[in-house]
Structure 1
Amino acid sequence: MDETLPGASGPLEGVRVLDGSQMLAGPLCAMRLGDLGADVIKVEPLSGEWTRSHGFANAEVAGETTALLGLNRNKRSLTINLKDEEAREVFYDLVRKSDVYLQNYRVGTAERLGVGYEQLRAINPRLVYCQITGYGEDGPYRDRPGQDLLVQGYSGSMWSVGAKNDPPTPSALWAADAMTAYQSAIGILAALRDRDRSGAGQKVSVDMWSVIMDCQAQEFTTYLNCGIQPERTDEPFAHTWCNPPYGVYPTADGYLVLSQLPIDVLGEALDDDRLRAITSWDEAHLWRDEIRRIVEQITPTRTTAEWIAHLDSYKLWSGPVYTYADVEADPHVQARGMIQTVEHPTIGELRTPAIPIRLSDTPGAIRLPPPLLGEHTAEVLGEVCGLDEVRIAALRERGAV
């Protein structure tokens, strides 16, 4: 099935999600539910959510920020002023006709707006309510700002990368946000499955700090049970606890990624007697700095492509360090259709990464492009809430929607 066909359904067809979130973790979670067929209504203030006005490098396409475009396909936009009493009553009617509400407000904000868990559960006991926070809803850090880089710092993960004299190294990915999005989607799906049996919704709470600790389950299990801390050595590695040559090395025309490899076999591939002599896992870990220095003196003698072909012949794991342009041009990316195109009402053809989840019988689909601000307000209020044009016009006139 063509993933860009409008109207294509998925396994979550019939599930309505109210996405009251902004920035990355919440919108990515809601977008993935939309990719799998849910009817996702993006609930925004009249001025729009944060990423409509704050984007990467101030980059825009036809007036829409790329940050917004990247996280909001397969959604309809409803603008509504939740501080307005009449608008809030309209929103409550929408809640009664929905299955999921998702928000990532600072702790306490939802309750002040009248959209906290207990407030919405009283309106719709079947509602699955997902709250994403930085540090959880209790504890001394509950009110601290939960931004990705800050959570990376709290998580301990920055000390697992690089050399001992390097500063702590953050991830280039928004790892805390993205993993929190996926864990939230899993929680929502689990709660929907439970509702099929019990008839009742429930609250799903996911915090970024817990998620990033969970992503380091092996590392924390090692520390908590053996007391071993990650200790960076003189030479830079991609992870302190992975055996050499685990890291990135210069080549004649770029960089080469090397994974964990049998060092004696690597010695054969690089024609180095010292490496040939290192035959055990423990010995490789002991001499990791020396191994790094030997390898990085040899790799600049060939291009990245030449090294990958050569190392493949020894069944050694290696790969390139791509730019985004390299990713776009890669034949595997093209063959797999990993970049898709969707028609946007003002941009025209909008290119985007494809849906990463592939189901054999009920595949997801890019049915809707990222919405313009409030593009579907009248459609949602008429279709879902049953409001007529006169009532919708009156709400618009008073600044409620």
Structure 2
Amino acid sequence: MTDHAVTGPLSGVRILDLSHVLNGPFSTMLLAHMGAEVIKVEQQSSPDRFRHAWMPMDADHDGYEFLVVNANKKAITLNLKNEQGREIFLDLVKRSDVIVENFSTGVMDRLGFGYEALREHNPKIIYASSKGYGETGPYADLRSFATIAMAVSGWADASWRLSGAPGTQVFGPGDEAAGVSMALGILAALYNRTQTGKGQKIEVSMQEALMGFMVSSFHEFFEGMGPAGAYMESADGHVATHLPDLNDDLFRRYSTALGHPEAIEDPRFSTVVKRRENLKILQQEVASWMKQFPTKELFNILRQQQVPAGPVLSIDQILEDEHIVARKAFVEVDHDQAGRLQLLAPWIRFSETPSGISHAGPAVGEHNYEVYRDLLGYDEEVIDKLRADGAI
């Protein structure tokens, strides 16, 4: 695998990534997209189990999800329980800006690498930690996964209320919400450090992060209102639309384009207030209109009228969507084991410091020589001895 340098607004920032599975790696993926040097730290004997999660037992390469969320990163092996390995880690801490971890509560403290210990070696270090429930409270010691986070945050229940299918699998950003939140916290802490010269600790609860992404659900709860958007069935699929906030002009164009100009004169639908009061009835009426049109034709009709709407696309349809293709939203990269991959390009775009993807997730210890030789100054003989001694 050949690496190409990625420029970006975070070029020059070095991050030690001790995180695993998804919420931590998703956070550092965003930072790597933006040009940060992210060094993924694993132990040779027990690398990130996410490498082969949900892959066949005999898979000969890391899974797509791992390759995506670890794009642009460097990978090293390091034994934090080995005395030499511990010294190397502290040497890396002194030369880094940020540490990211999502171990269970207390793991880093037991290793002697909690925030208070590490800030003694680097007062400017930013220490970012994500746990299922945070580091305080009755549930602090409980492990969590995305499915659990979505259960205890209200996400699953809110989804079931919409779908009418309780007990079914819920799709949602169980890990990603915490990852985005932690990346945002890291950026804020980096900015604060430019003002104060001081590092600090960041703590993110997966449960609370998901709740932060549920502002619409909390609105519905506290205001006693139902959801405004709707997915309507077309002749051959579904289209998403948003009826109650259409002003009178848009609703006139909407109903006329669908062959029902009389709807604007209907006293139940004649004003925004009336349409909100009779939303369920309006949705039933519109649903009957939409069934008369194929999805593509329906979308084009509403698009021409500048009415907010969109077809429900499958993943393979997204890859071929004219807008996604025009924006070059996917990039292709080559991987030694997995072959040619399509990865979603960084969706945070910068005019002066463009972000990008140079390579998919690295192999275990792929950058050992680069990091230990070029960053720490060890020669190859020393590196080979460290490996033989179990330090790396």
TM-score by length of 2: 0.88
1:293 paired to 2:284? yes
Residue in 2 aligned with 1:234?
Answer: none
Aligned pair in 2 of structure 1 residues 155, 279: CA closer, same or farther (>3 Å)?
Answer: farther
Matches within 5 A, 1:41-52: 41-46=39-44, 47-52=46-51
CA displacement 1:27-73 (0-9 Å, x = unmatched): 11111111111111000121310211213x54998512112111001
CA displacement 1:298-324 (0-9 Å, x = unmatched): 322220011112223443221111111
| 2:207 pairs with one of 206, 209, 218 | 209
CA displacement 1:240-280 (0-9 Å, x = unmatched): 332xxx22122222111112354853443444556752123
| 2:329 pairs with one of 338, 342, 362 | 338
Structure 2 distance, partners of 1:298, 1:221, is 30
Q: Counterpart of 1:268 in structure 2: which amino acid? A: T
Residue in 2 aligned with 1:394?
Answer: 385
Question: What's the offset of the Cα at 1:297?
Answer: 2.9
RMSD: 2.6
Residue in 2 aligned with 1:167?
Answer: 166
CA displacement 1:104-135 (0-9 Å, x = unmatched): 11111111223211121111111111001121
Residue in 1 aligned with 2:151?
Answer: 153
Structure 2 distance, partners of 1:192, 1:164, is 41
Structure 2 distance, partners of 1:151, 1:229, is 25
CA displacement 1:350-369 (0-9 Å, x = unmatched): 32110111111111122333
8 A Cα contact 2:263 2:270, kept in partner: no
Structure 2 distance, partners of 1:295, 1:152, is 32
Question: What's the offset of the Cα at 1:96?
Answer: 0.9
Question: What's the offset of the Cα at 1:17?
Answer: 0.4
Structure 2 distance, partners of 1:62, 1:282, is 60
Matches within 5 A, 1:2-401: 6-46=4-44, 47-55=46-54, 58=56, 63-161=61-159, 162-163=161-162, 165-167=164-166, 172-173=171-172, 175-217=173-215, 219-220=217-218, 223=221, 227-229=222-224, 240-242=226-228, 246-261=229-244, 262=246, 265=252, 266-272=254-260, 273=262, 276-277=265-266, 278-401=269-392
8 A Cα contact 2:134 2:205, kept in partner: yes
Question: What's the offset of the Cα at 1:343?
Answer: 3.0
CA displacement 1:73-117 (0-9 Å, x = unmatched): 111101112122221111111111111100011111111223211
**Bigger mean CA offset, 157-166 vs 68-77:** 157-166
Structure 2 SS opposite 1:144: coil
**Bigger mean CA offset, 305-314 vs 372-381:** 305-314
Aligned pair in 2 of structure 1 residues 255, 58: CA closer, same or farther (>3 Å)?
Answer: farther
Quick one: percent identity of the two aligned structures?
33
Structure 1 distance, partners of 2:153, 2:6, is 40
